[in-house]
Structure 1
Amino acid sequence: MKFCFRFICLISLCCLSKVELTAQAVGDTNILKLDYQGRRIMDADDAYSYLLKVWQEPPLWATDLYSYPDQKRLYTRHYADSTRRILQGLYTSYHPSGNISEQGMYENGKRHGRFEGWHENGKRSSLFQYNMGVMIDTNRRWNDAGELVYESVLNAEGTGYVKGMNRGAGFNESGPMLKGARHGEWTIYQEDRLMMKMQYIKDSIAISECYDSLGNVANGPCIYEREAMFPGGANGWYRYLQSNLRYPDEARRGEIQGVVKINFTVDKDGVLSEYSIASSPHESLSREVIRLLQKGPQWMPAIQYNRPVKMRHSQNVVFRLQ
């Protein structure tokens, strides 16, 4: 057998297979197999990464998404009809332990009303209020130690001020909101030192300035945030896999295929460590992914407020026999 692989850094599961199931009887449950991009798999021999359970709760339709092969529930969603395009009603996401991560209501595809979040340890992580997708009223976020790290006070149109967003290491980010979007001058301080100024227009940074330790405008690039990445980005990672990935003999003989989901840390120098397999079809595939990461070059570190920072990163590698 020949084999091929695919990869993805961060997957989005917001637009999963939208197969209409109008013939399904009330109370029946359909189980769909999805690939790593959330597309429905029709061939029984193809590798799949998720299981989607679909059933009707009149007048709504409901879905549970599970990762595969570990079969951990990721979320429960409700939709307005069988096309599953418009979120309506209760939404719940889950931590790997099965504890609730976030819960709230949707109205015509938009967050509406109270949304609450909890850390894995059970402590509250967030409490937000929405009016048809726009954040309103007083909203707060806490870290897993219970310390307040974010607070905003907004009117019924989502206009107001974020009084402080504690991003750790003494950083605080503040600025105005206009109808649910950042708009105007935002500042970032570390303790009492000005680090950055950004001019926002409807949530997009139009102009940014970084400052040195003396308070002068710094020369060179001024980067607000950037995720850690393989040298050369997605194309560089793809070329590296093409040249270096080996399909393990044990997995090939057993015709084992699927997605290895791995988490690891990229430190400020781009060195990788703390590998953790989130899920995998087989141990031999897990070992191969870890070998690839350990053998590879240093990564480009994450950037926050124009300085390199340590970051936890997730990566998926798909093994597929053909």
Structure 2
Amino acid sequence: MRLLFILPFTLLYTFSSFAQKDTVYTYFDTNKKVTSEINAFYVSKTTKNDNKWHKQVFVNSSGNLYMDGYYSDEKTQVPDGVIKYYRDSEKLTDSCFYIDGQLKAKYIFYANGQVKDYILFADGIHIAEQGGYTEEGNKINNYIVWRPAMYPDSTTGWQKYVRRKTSWHLPPGYLKGLMEGGVEITFTVDTTGAVTNAFISKKSGFIDLDQRALAIVEKSRKWIPAVQDNHPVSSTQKQTIVFANNELNAQANKTISVGADFLRWMAGL
């Protein structure tokens, strides 16, 4: 699984930005899109600070601080150091620590200032440690901040299932060498682990291959659902199955789309 870390307010040099020595101001609307000063909901102030760039984002109408962080580049695309997000200027909502663009740790806070949960990353992608606390600061045992949906029977369970199910009931045209191609199936694993909303997201060009791949996914057993903030959540998966050269090459490496809520959590939105 590769997590996507979407950093809001990427600095754009347009008519909506103006510089004053080593300071650049940029204006954004409520959707974080660059706009004019008169239409701005947020204003970003970026200042050169030694060998880094210090960015602060304020709510334009109130002047309340929304974000404060450091980057290694002038366009503020590579976070380097601590990046914090606030509510009402004073209350910290979450804090991230980066080294040269790689996320090392993220902490979420309760309104009272206590740490709610945290994730430590081994390499910016894989989780090394995670945990959570009550509002009183007591540690919650076995707390899971994030865990992707998993197929039962070990880490290779899904690959084994796909290979087994693609060893029979193959379309006659494929067996005769008359068709080949890859099929991508997108589906949801709901909070109970059931596979729902499966559909063909990329076609092979042969309806028989497409339908066979769809049936393989739809008829799979229940998964172990994804967990976010210690509660089961629905998650979207993608599975590609390739039929080629009269020998099935089932690509059982799934690309996980973790869902809007988790992406927003990782982005600090």
Structure 1's 291 and 181: CA in aligned 2 closer, same or farther, altered over 3 A? closer
User: How far apart, CA to CA, are the structure 1 residues paired with 2:199 and 2:54?
Assistant: 39
Asked if 2 retains the 8 angstrom alpha-carbon contact of 1:266 and 1:313, the reply is yes
1:154 has 2:70 as partner: yes
| Pair 1:312 & 2:233 matched | no
- For structure 2, list consecutive stretches of 5 or more residues without a partner in the other structure: 3-9, 13-30, 35-43, 58-65, 74-78, 88-92, 248-269
* Contact 2:182–2:243 under 8 Å retained in 1: yes
Distance 2:198 2:183 in 1: 12
| Larger strand proportion of the pair | 1
What amino acid sits opposite 1:227 in the alignment? P
Aligned counterparts, 1:63-74, within 5 A? none
Q: 2:55·2:68 contact (CA, 8 Å) conserved in 1?
A: yes
Pair 210,279 (structure 1): closer, same or farther in 2 beyond 3 Å: same
Does residue 278 of structure 1 match 2:201? yes
From 210, 234, 239, the equivalent of 2:160 is: 239
In angstroms, what is the RMSD of aligned CA positions?
Answer: 4.2
TM-score, L = length of structure 2: 0.52
CA drift at 1:154? 0.7
- Code of the residue aligned with 2:201 in structure 1: it is A
* Paired residues, number: 183
Within the candidate set 79, 85, 88, 1:164 is matched to 85
Structure 2 counterpart of 1:259: 182
Higher helix share: 2
Equivalent residues of 2:198, 2:218 under 8 A apart? no
The answer for the alignment partner of 1:302 in structure 2 is 226
Please give the alpha-carbon distance, in whole angstroms, between the structure 2 residues aligned to 1:287 and 1:177. Answer: 44
Residues 201 and 272 (structure 1 numbering): CA distance in 2 closer, same or farther, change over 3 Å? closer
Match of 2:131 among 180, 188, 209: 209
Mapped pair 1:219 → 2:141: yes
The 5 A counterparts of 1:1-322 are 124=33, 137-138=54-55, 151=67, 153-156=69-72, 158-164=79-85, 173-182=94-103, 186-189=106-109, 194-198=115-119, 203=124, 207-212=129-134, 215-220=137-142, 222-245=143-166, 246-253=169-176, 255-281=178-204, 282-320=206-244, 321-322=246-247
**Aligned partners of 2:137, 2:95: CA distance in 1, in Å?**
18
Give the SS at the match of 2:156.
helix
Query: CA, structure 1 residues 231+206, in 2 after alignment: closer, same or farther (shift >3 Å)?
Result: closer
Identity level (%): 24
In 2, distance between residues paired with 1:294 and 1:228? 16
Structure 1 unaligned segments of length 5 or more: list them.
1-8, 11-101, 105-121, 141-149, 167-171
Q: CA deviation at 1:195?
A: 2.8
Could you tell me which amino acid in structure 2 is paired with residue 283 of structure 1? I
Q: Which amino acid aligns with 2:233?
A: V
TM value normalised by structure 1: 0.45
With over 3 angstroms needed to count, the CA separation of the structure-2 counterparts of 1:214 and 1:139, relative to structure 1, is closer
Closer/same/farther in 2, CA of residues 306 and 179 from structure 1, 3 Å limit = same
Change (3 A) 1:208 1:229: closer
Q: Which amino acid aligns with 2:144?
A: I
Following superposition, the deviation at residue 315 of structure 1 comes to 0.9
How far 1:237 sits from its partner (Å)? Answer: 1.6
